[in-house]
């Protein structure tokens, strides 16, 4: 019988996932799910259903206890029919929407059918079962392929009406895969190359957990990550970044299918892409297999997957040569089938060419019967795993508790007490150093806390001192060495975050180099992946390295991005407060902009106040009506506090406000906002060593903003602040001009 904690975890996990993906999502809750086993039984064998059709699946016994591949021996004519079902579901949905990408699903239907029907392990009625195999369609524009597979496999999230509402408002079948819309979709893809990068993150997470928790008598973590990527993904630089790391890390349970169809939007890829992908991946440390007939070479595809799974020490690229738009008499093997509906006449011609007599969206009964077995088999796989976990938990209770935390996302009780606190008497320090104290404190109490830097760990101050480096032969360690690969780093962390709710990945570089990884950060926000971005050297305060390394517009740009929190802490308490929020906001990524230069521990700051986003640090006024309000962030909050002292000497009443996180302040009640920034007080001055863009909504039409709206310069920090007017004197003058 599953233990009480397993039972509670099961219920909590399903509640969380259903809530996370919206109340409208159709997720059937099975009798057992997550870690729940409803009875002590162990499913020994499951007999596949046998259709009475002449194209039936021959009965096969499958042991659910240790299934390497759910392989079948299927009549080739039924496989043909199933493959064409996938093709026409995609054709019909794109045609009805008058929008979409039919070419990839038509070409990739054979490999995806073999993969989903014969090899992958999943439970359609619980898309969030922990030990499922993961699938990522990196070439996300071909998403009707994925939706068709989910529909055939029995996922409640993609029913016939969902296929018919492809790309429409409010549908579960958007124009590119979105994990927050469609249960069964692991990550959000579309920007080419992001998906394979996420897949590397998912595979890294599996390897890490397997190394930490598997035992000789119980391999409780054992699943594969599969991905399909196309020529466009291969051309994007991010794919080379992450595939280089995957080879270096030896991610043997990552298997990527390269849809080698030689067509992109502009035409044949020979106009811009003639390298040997095979040789490049071999050089990156991958095992490479070439399936020369991806159109109907089913046995070739099966053999390639078996070979890939037999290679344990490196990832595998299976290059599958296909025909884009296969079956279309006039558009196959051309760019015209890539990104537009076939058109009524060509749809009819394709139906005739492939001898497809069925109505739009119709799934033949023998195909439906064949795929229906996945509901029973998936439930058996999950039940078997749940029984394994119950035994694991009984024998290894401490490890089980840690794994439960990672699977469920339940934070350890009292974890926040590990965060350091500071007083004004504490030594001043750079917030990057204070950040390192927080990182190391959290790693001691958070089982799923891990991360690293883009070759700047000693400068970003992000090393976890109690742990070694995650490497091919030491995968249980928690320091991730990404090398100089900012874009890939961010996208890999998205994959880690979306693998299991209790993973809390962080990654780091200089703040200005978010320019290299912004696309991945935007996907973090869109896909609700709670990555923590530790960004040091946050302003001209970094000094002599000059304008190439000095961020100006970056704070404003992230404040403009939806669903991301932009923190700029001023001292130790605010840094700890930022981490407290970042850890708890699992569906929202956080960016921490941290200083290189030392800063004092300011009176009036606190961990708790950071939760408000903006709060009063000091105030000598009464009746909520100061003469002037001075507002600062980060290193400039100290300047605001000093300016306030000067103004108070002149007899002014002054309120100093820290605006550590605009997004959190926006979430507060109107009454709270009024208590901090009373509408009757128009004399407001902000100061921040960055762009003034956006500050108008804080200081109002009559206020003033002190900042930098040009590029920086190479000079010592003090000289830069003086020359750019980021000074106490400038703030006092601005305040006096408004009073």
Active site residues: 486
- Torsion, Cα 38 43 47 48, to 10 degrees, reads 60
- Cβ neighbours of residue 125 closer than 8 Å, sequence gap 6 or more: 28, 30, 154, 156, 375, 378, 379
Comparing CA positions, the residue from 484, 604, 476 lying closest to residue 241 is 484
DSSP 8-class letter at 528: T
What does the alpha-carbon distance between residue 233 and residue 191 come to, in Å, rounded to a whole number? 9
Report the alpha-carbon distance of residue 465 to residue 658 in Å, rounded.
32
| Beta strands 45-47; 61-63: pairing state | antiparallel
Structure tokens given for 281? 């991946």
Residue of 104, 126, 404, 352 lying closest to 228 (CA atoms): 104
User: Cβ(347)–Cβ(356) under 8 Å?
Assistant: no
Q: Render 661-704 in DSSP notation, one character per residue.
A: -HHHHHTS-HHHHHHHS-TT---EEEE-SS--TTTHHHH-TT-E
Beta-sheet strands, E only, within 92-193: 134-137
CA distance 305 to 295: 16
Residue listed under structure tokens 């078996």: 306
698 CA to centre of own chain: 31
Place of tokens 């909504």: 697
Give residue for tokens 């096969």.
Answer: 60
Alpha helices in 420-553 (DSSP H): 431-445, 457-460, 486-499, 518-527
In the numeric block, which tokens belong to residue 685? 């001055």
Q: What are phi and psi of 706, to 5 degrees?
A: -105, 125
**Contact 528/563 with Cβ under 8 angstroms?**
yes
């Amino acid at each position: 019988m599953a233990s009480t904690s397993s039972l509670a975890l099961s219920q909590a996990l399903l509640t969380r996932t259903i809530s996370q993906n919206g109340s409208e999502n159709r997720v059937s809750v099975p009798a057992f799910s997550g870690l729940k086993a409803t009875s002590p039984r162990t499913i020994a064998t499951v007999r596949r259903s046998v259709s009475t059709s002449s194209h039936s699946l021959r009965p096969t016994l499958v042991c659910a206890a240790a299934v390497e591949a759910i392989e079948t021996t299927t009549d080739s004519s039924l496989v043909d029919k199933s493959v064409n079902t996938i093709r026409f579901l995609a054709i019909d949905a794109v045609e009805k929407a008058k929008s979409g990408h039919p070419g990839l699903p038509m070409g990739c239907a054979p490999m995806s059918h073999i993969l989903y029907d014969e090899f992958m392990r999943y439970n359609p009625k619980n898309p969030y079962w922990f030990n499922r195999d993961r699938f990522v369609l990196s070439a996300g524009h071909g998403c009707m392929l994925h939706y068709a597979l989910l529909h055939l496999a029995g996922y409640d999230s993609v029913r016939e009406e969902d296929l018919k509402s492809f790309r429409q408002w409010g549908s579960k079948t958007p124009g590119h895969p979105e994990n927050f819309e469609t249960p069964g979709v692991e990550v959000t893809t579309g920007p080419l190359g992001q998906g394979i990068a996420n897949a590397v993150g998912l595979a890294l997470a599996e390897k890490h957990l397997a190394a930490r928790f598997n035992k000789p008598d119980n391999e409780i973590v054992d699943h594969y990550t599969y991905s399909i990527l196309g020529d466009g993904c291969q051309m994007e630089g991010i794919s080379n970044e992450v595939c280089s790391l995957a080879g270096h890390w030896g991610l043997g349970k990552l298997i990527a299918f390269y849809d080698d169809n030689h067509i992109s939007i502009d035409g044949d890829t020979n106009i811009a892409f003639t390298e040997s992908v095979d040789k490049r991946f071999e050089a990156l440390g991958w095992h490479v297999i070439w399936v020369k007939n991806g159109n109907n070479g089913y046995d070739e595809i099966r053999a390639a997957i078996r070979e890939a799974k037999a290679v344990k020490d490196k990832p595998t690229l299976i290059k599958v040569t296909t025909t884009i738009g296969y079956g279309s008499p006039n558009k196959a093997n051309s760019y015209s089938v890539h990104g537009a509906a076939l058109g009524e006449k060509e749809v009819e011609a394709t139906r005739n060419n492939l001898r497809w007599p069925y109505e739009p969206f119709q799934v033949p009964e023998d195909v439906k019967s064949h795929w229906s077995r996945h509901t029973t088999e998936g439930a058996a796989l999950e039940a078997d795993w749940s029984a394994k976990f119950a035994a694991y938990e009984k024998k290894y209770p401490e490890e089980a508790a840690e794994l439960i935390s990672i699977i469920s996302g339940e934070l350890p009780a009292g974890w926040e007490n590990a965060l350091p606190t500071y007083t004004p008497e504490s030594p001043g320090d750079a917030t990057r150093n204070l950040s390192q104290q927080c990182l190391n404190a959290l790693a001691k109490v958070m089982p799923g806390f891990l991360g690293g830097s883009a070759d700047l760990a000693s400068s970003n101050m992000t090393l976890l001192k109690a742990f070694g480096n995650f490497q091919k032969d030491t995968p249980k360690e928690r320091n991730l060495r990404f090398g100089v690969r900012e874009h890939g780093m961010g996208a890999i962390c998205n994959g880690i975050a979306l693998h299991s709710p209790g993973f809390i990945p962080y990654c780091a570089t200089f703040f200005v180099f978010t320019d290299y990884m912004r696309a991945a950060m935007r996907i973090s926000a869109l896909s609700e992946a709670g990555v923590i971005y530790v960004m040091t050297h946050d302003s001209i305060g970094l000094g002599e390295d000059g304008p190439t390394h000095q961020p100006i517009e970056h704070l404003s740009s992230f404040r403009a991005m939806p669903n991301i929190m932009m923190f700029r802490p001023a001292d130790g308490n605010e840094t700890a407060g930022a981490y407290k929020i970042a850890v708890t906001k699992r569906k929202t990524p956080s960016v921490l902009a941290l200083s290189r230069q030392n800063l004092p521990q300011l009176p009036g700051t606190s961990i708790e106040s950071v939760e408000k986003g903006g709060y009063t640090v000091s105030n000598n006024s009464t009746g909520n009506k100061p003469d002037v309000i001075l507002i600062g962030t980060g290193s400039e909050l100290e300047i605001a506090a000093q300016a306030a002292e000067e103004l108070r000497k002149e007899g002014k009443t002054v309120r100093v406000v820290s605006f550590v996180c605009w997004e959190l302040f926006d979430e507060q009640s109107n009454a709270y906002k009024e208590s901090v920034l009373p509408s009757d007080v128009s004399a407001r001055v902000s100061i921040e060593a960055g762009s003034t863009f956006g500050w108008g909504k804080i200081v109002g039409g009559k206020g003033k903003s002190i900042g930098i709206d040009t590029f920086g310069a190479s000079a010592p920090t003090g000289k830069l602040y003086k020359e750019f007017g980021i000074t106490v004197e400038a703030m006092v003058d601005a305040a006096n001009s408004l009073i």
